[in-house]
Structures are given as structure tokens and as C-alpha cells.
Amino acid sequence: MKKSIIIALLLCGVLVNAQNKKWTLIECVEHALQNNISVKQSELDLEATEADKLSAIGNFLPSFSAGAGVSENTGLSFNPVTNNAQTTTFLSVTGRINVGYTLFDGLRNFRTLQRAEISKLASQYRLDKMKDDISLFVANGYLQAILNKANLKVLKSQNEVTKEQIQRTQELVDAGSLPRGDLLEIQATDASEQQAIINAENNLRISLISLAQLLLIKDYENFDVQDEGYDIIDGGIADKDISEILAQAKESRSEIKIAEENVSLAVKDLQISRSSYYPSLSAFFGYDTRYTNATSFIQELDAANPSTTEQIGVVQSTGEPVVGQFPNLLTREVGADPFTQQLWENDGISYGVQLNIPIFNGFATRSNVMRSKVNLERTKYQLEQAELDLESTVYQAYVDAKGSLKSYEAAMKAVESQELAYDYAKERYDVGLTNAFDFSQSKLRYDNSKIELNRAKYDYIFKLKVLELYFGIPATELKF
């Protein structure tokens, strides 16, 4: 009984911990990379290239096939062993083995294997890019959630101050030191702040649900994120020159690698299409045998009377008959030979080489080569465009990060100024030198400056990490 109670308490503790679990950003990213549908589809695309590579390797191996057939014939049919027409019912069995090997095909098989390897590499780059994109989506959603949490904390913290001011103002109003209008003004501010808190809670809930959906987590109610320990961590990326970041991005980013591999694929496609201009040489070997249970007829000498004498003509001058001696043959029906004996008695082998020289096929090869050339030029332009797009994107990310830093620094100064102004207004309000409206406006500006600081902080964190990602730092190694 005591053991059961202990086990039940432990299980309850596990469930409570599971429900109170707060996900870190790294956990969210790793979970997304393991469960996201787009990532899984890209992984399947990579697996499919293994099948293409296996098929390309198989082209270098001989082809091997075997076949067998069983049939029963009734009526007039040709015996497959004797090739004689027979009116009877018999069973026949045939078997064959064929081996073929391509000796030369214009290097098509070699180019196809190279293409399969390039295609696999391109799929790996596409998977890497998908993981980077998903990681950024998760990071953006995560930072939005903790931004909403930070804003909610600011609103609740300032509302506690407002409630203290309501209590203090109530005492001053009751003592006749302040007019009742000041109390109403503070209460109106409290009502506005309560509404802002409700909106902030809704925004937080929506951002958490959106992040949970991105992670394919169904338990929306208990899903929560860790909102502590995240600060601005600059690994020196902000101090690097844009040319250095751009050069590293061109070397490491998957967008460029994918475009480069597409060019390599187009080159191989052109080589493969040109291989159809060359002759192809193949070798073949075949073995076949047959069996039948049909009876046959044989002729053999009569042991009792092995020869007969018959007239074969006359002498024209004398009229004397001319006789000859012939073997006395008897026709006898015999059964079929045993199955295994017929297999080796009736077998046959064929082998040789076959040369195929393309002469004219309606311009099919020429048109394929032309299309491959056009596709090669298209992929070259796509590579050039990818480099231009990456350059534009990196410059934009660099400018955004620099601008976000300035915005964050300005927001910190604004908070410092608004805090001093708020403290000054609070002191004046406490001694009755300013009214409640002016005090509430000062407090509102202070609250907004702290919210803007939160926004600027997490915006700078995200844009800084985007810049690091373009610099070649893997998404799972980004530090927050």
C-alpha cells in the first residue's frame, strides 16, 4: 500500500513537471528540425537520391534474367524436342538464362553516376537550407513570444505602481489634500492599463499557440517557453566588415551551393544527351533447354530377321532381276527420356556482341542536346541571380542589424530619460505640485519607452542572429 502511494506521488510529480515544462530556444529548434513536415519531406528527397545513385551503379553491372515455361498441347502440335508434328497430348517444359553487358555506350552510364552523386549533394544542400529556414522561423516565433512576455511583465509591474497610487491618492482625497478628479484620473489610468494587460495576455497566448503549431505540439494550453537568460550576445559579427560577411556567405550559404550544383547537373545532362551520338556496343550470352513427355517412334533392326532381299530393278539386255539387301527395320514407340537427361541433351548456348550505330533518329538526339544547352545557360543565369540576391540580402541584413543596434541604444537612452521624468513627476505629484493627468501621462510615456526597449532588444537579437547565420554559423550553434 505504501509503495503504491509513493509510485502514485512520483507519477503525479512527473505529470506536473511535464505540464510546467518551459521550452528553451535550443529545444524548440531541435524539436522543429526533428518533427517539421517540410524538413521530413526534404529528408525524403535526399533518400530518393540514394535510389538514383543505386540505379546508376547498377548500370555498370551485367543484366541477368531467367525464365521458364510449362505448357500442355492436345491435337496436332510440334514436339519441341524432335520438331515433328504429332497428333497427341503431351507436356513440354522450357527454360532459359540470358546475360547481357554494355561494353560501351558513349560514357552515358559514367555520366549518369556522376549526375546521381551531384543530385545527392544538391539535395543535402536543400535540406540544410530548409533547416536554416525552419530554425529562423522558430527563433522569430520564440523571440516574439518572450517579447510579449516581457511587455506583459512591464504592464503588470507598472499597474502595481498605479494601484499603489490609487491607494495613496484615495488617502489624500479623503484628507482633502487632493481633489476627487485626481483619483478619477488615476482610476481611469488603471482601467486603461488593465485593458492593455488583457491585450498583452492575448498577444502572448496567440504567439505561444503559433509557436506550438510551428513545432507540431498539440498541447497548446500547457505549452510555454523559457523567458529568462536571453540577452544580446555578439560574437563579433557586428564589428566585421560587410565584404568579409559577404565573402563568407557566398562560400557557406546553401542558396549558392544549390545553384552551383544545378549548373553541374545541367553540365552532366548535356554530356548525357551527347552520348547518344556515339555507337553502343554490348555483349550477350544465352542458355536454353527443353523437356517434353511426348512419346516418339524409333526404327531398329529385327533381331530375328535383320535383313531383307528386294528387287531393285532388271537387267535391260537379259531381263534378269536385280536384287539388293536392305536392313529389316521395325518401328517401335518409345517413352520420353528422363527429365534431367533431357535438360542436358536438349540444351543450347548462344553468345556474341551487338553494335548499334546511330545514323538518323528524326533529330531527337540533336534536339535533346539543344535543350540541354539552353538549360545549362539558364542555370548559369540562375547562379548569377542567386549571388546577386544573396548579396542584396546580406547587405539588407547588415543594414538592419546596424539600424536595430542604433534603435536599441536610442531606446535605452529613452528609458533612462523617461524614468527620470517619471520619478520627477512622481515626486511632484506626491507633494501636490502636479495633477493626476500630468502624472499619468508621464507614467504612460515611461511604460511605452520600456515596451519599446523590449521590442528594440529582441529585434536586434533576431537580426544579429540572422547576420551570424549568413556568416556561416549553423542555426543550432547560435548563442542567445
Strand partners, 331: 299
Residue 175 has φ and ψ, to the nearest 5°, of -85, -5
| The pLDDT value given to residue 464 | 85
Cα 248 to Cα 471: distance, rounded to the nearest angstrom:
6
Q: Report the run of H or E that residue 95 belongs to, with start and end.
A: strand 85-104
- β-partners of residue 327 are 307
What pLDDT, on the 0 to 100 scale, is given for residue 238?
74
Q: Is residue 243 within 8 Å of residue 89, measured between CB atoms?
A: no
C-alpha cell at 269: 545532362
| pLDDT at position 64 | 92
* Residue type at 114 in one-letter notation: Q
Nearest Cα to Cα of residue 224 among 19, 452, 63: 19
For residue 267, what pLDDT is reported? 96
Return all residues near 342 (Cβ < 8 A) that are at least 6 apart.
Answer: 81, 289, 290, 291, 292, 336
pLDDT of res. 377:
96
What would the CATH number be for the domain defined by 24-61+105-278+363-477?
A: 1.20.1600.10
CA distances (Å), origin 42, targets 49, 139, 383, 469: 11, 20, 21, 20
Q: Tell me, what's the pLDDT at 454?
A: 86
Contacts (Cβ under 8 Å, ≥6 apart) of 297: 331, 332, 333, 334
> DSSP character for 276?
G
Total Cβ atoms within 10 A of residue 116: 20
pLDDT of 11: 39
β-strands 307-314, 329-334: how paired? unpaired
Helix (H, G, I), strand (E, B) or coil at 232: coil
Residue 477 DSSP code: G
In 220-328, DSSP assigns E strands to 280-292, 296-301, 307-314, 321-327
pTM: predicted TM-score of the whole model, two decimal places: 0.75
pLDDT of residue 9: 37
Tell me, what's the pLDDT at 110?
A: 92
In contact, 459 and 407? CB cutoff 8 Å: yes
All three cell numbers of 185, joined, read 484620473
Separate counts of helices (H) and strands (E) for the chain: 10, 8
| Distance separating alpha carbons of residues 46 and 25, to the nearest angstrom | 27
- In order along its 480 residues, the chain shows pLDDT tens digits of 444 434 433 333 333 344 568 898 888 988 998 998 889 999 999 999 999 999 999 999 999 999 999 888 777 766 666 666 667 777 888 899 999 999 999 899 999 999 999 999 999 999 999 998 898 889 889 888 988 988 898 888 888 888 887 887 787 778 776 778 878 888 888 898 899 899 999 999 999 999 999 898 888 889 998 877 667 766 677 778 888 888 888 888 888 999 999 999 999 999 999 999 999 999 999 999 988 887 766 677 777 777 877 777 787 778 788 777 778 776 666 677 788 888 888 888 999 999 999 998 888 999 999 999 999 999 999 999 999 999 998 999 899 888 988 998 999 999 999 889 988 888 887 777 777 778 778 888 888 898 888 888 888 888 888 888 888 777 767 776
- Residue 313's SS3 state is strand
Q: Which of 132, 288, 161, 149 is nearest to 207 (CA)?
A: 149
